[in-house]
Amino acid sequence: MGLNSTGESDWRNYDDGVKAQQESKMRPQIERILPVLARSEGIVLPDDFSFQFAPLRQLSDIEKADAVGKITASVADAFEKGIVGRKTALQELKQSAEITGVWSNVTDEAIADAEEDPPEPDLFAMQGAGAENGGAGGPGGGGADINEPGLAEGGGRDSAEPHLRVVGDAWAHIADLPIQIETVKGMLREGRGWSAMSPADYGFVARTNGADGEGVDCYVGSDRDSDRVWLIDQINADTGAFDEHKAMLGFGDRNLALASYVRGFSDGRGMDRLGACTEMTMGEFKDWLQTGDLKRSVGMRMPGDPLRRRA
């Protein structure tokens, strides 16, 4: 590197140089030696056997979350637009695990079975059909109205705030927590002057009163049996001041939770709003909801607070 290094570009040039040397000089030698070593141990390497050199630099949790969010969003967008099929989408996600470590659990069987998957139902068409029969919570609908009476006081939503009526049951019970789902995964969340495609089911914990005076917001992933909760202290992207909490429920690991959170913003500033991310068990999260100060940050040090570990 020398003493004249000027920053990130020098690191990248150095990494690219080492990678070029690995590919041009080391790979040919290793490809000759490996089959011989394998045969000496009675191992027959498959025809499609390959290997990759480990990267010189490891991504931080934040960088991984950012990469996962961008890759997943790109693949999902291509799939939703019909550019690629479900099988190709799964293959791309699994391949991205070499960079991010996420999506490594996508199995070859799941990829093979994806060829037989029927087309996804048109949720917007179903939503319209439900409305014609009284809406999702009406006589012809499959579930509850998202503006169910009784929730506006102490942990509900202002009925003037725009929300979508969801298809099917608008309630999810995660570890006995009553969660009202406002927007199902893949549908549009809208507010005053903004809209974003929801990366996961989105709603709030009923009968709670969060920092914004409404129910504590949450994203609900597909791993409904997960006992882990990642509680995000959301901050103002411009001022850095604490805003409110976002609870990430139903996610298998931290990176998936952070990636979904980041994808929940259409302006590309999800990372700027991530003040802190505190991991809890479901029991600890319930205790916090019952006895904690829901108006203050959990993982950030606020003025006047004693020093404490930031998650």
Whether the per-residue pLDDT at 25 is higher than 90: the answer is: no
- The pLDDT value given to residue 3: 45
Whether the per-residue pLDDT at 150 is higher than 80: the answer is: no
* Span 74-89, pLDDT tens digits: 787 777 666 777 788 8
- The pLDDT value given to residue 171: 67
With cut-offs at 50, 70 and 90, classify the pLDDT of residue 285.
very high
What mean pLDDT, rounded, does the chain reach?
Answer: 74
Q: What is the mean pLDDT of residues 223-230?
A: 90
Among the residue ranges 164-168, 185-189, 257-261, 298-302, the one predicted with the least confidence is 164-168
Whether the per-residue pLDDT at 115 is higher than 70: the answer is: no
Higher pLDDT, 99 or 73: 73
CA-based R_g, the chain, Å: 24
Structural domains of the chain in order of their starting residue, each with its CATH number: 60-118 (no CATH), 144-291 (3.90.80)
Nearest to 128 by CA among 196, 187, 190, 193: 187
- The pLDDT value given to residue 162: 32
Q: What is the mean pLDDT of residues 220-228?
A: 88
Nearest to 220 by CA among 253, 189, 260: 260
Side-by-side strand order, sheet with 216-220: 171-174, 177-183, 201-205, 216-220, 242-249, 228-235, 274-281
With cut-offs at 50, 70 and 90, classify the pLDDT of residue 235.
very high
Alpha carbon of 249 to those of 100, 183, 195, 277: distances in Å?
21, 15, 22, 13
With cut-offs at 50, 70 and 90, classify the pLDDT of residue 177.
confident
Higher pLDDT, 122 or 208: 208
Q: What is the mean pLDDT of residues 251-257?
A: 89
Whether the per-residue pLDDT at 102 is higher than 70: the answer is: yes
Structure tokens at 151: 């929730």
- Find the helix or strand (DSSP H, E) in which 248 lies: strand 242-249
Nearest to 100 by CA among 221, 271, 224, 256: 256
With cut-offs at 50, 70 and 90, classify the pLDDT of residue 121.
very low
DSSP code, position 102: -
Q: Can you tell me the distance from the alpha carbon of 281 to that of 258, in angstroms, rounded to the nearest whole number? A: 16
Among the residue ranges 23-27, 45-49, 279-283, 301-305, the one predicted with the least confidence is 301-305
Residues 6 or more apart whose CB falls under 8 angstroms from that of 165 comprise 127, 130, 131, 135, 136, 137, 145, 146
Whether the per-residue pLDDT at 12 is higher than 80: the answer is: no
Whether the per-residue pLDDT at 281 is higher than 90: the answer is: yes
Among the residue ranges 124-128, 184-188, 229-233, the one predicted with the least confidence is 124-128
Instruction: State the Cα torsion 269-284-299-208 to the nearest 10°.
Output: 60
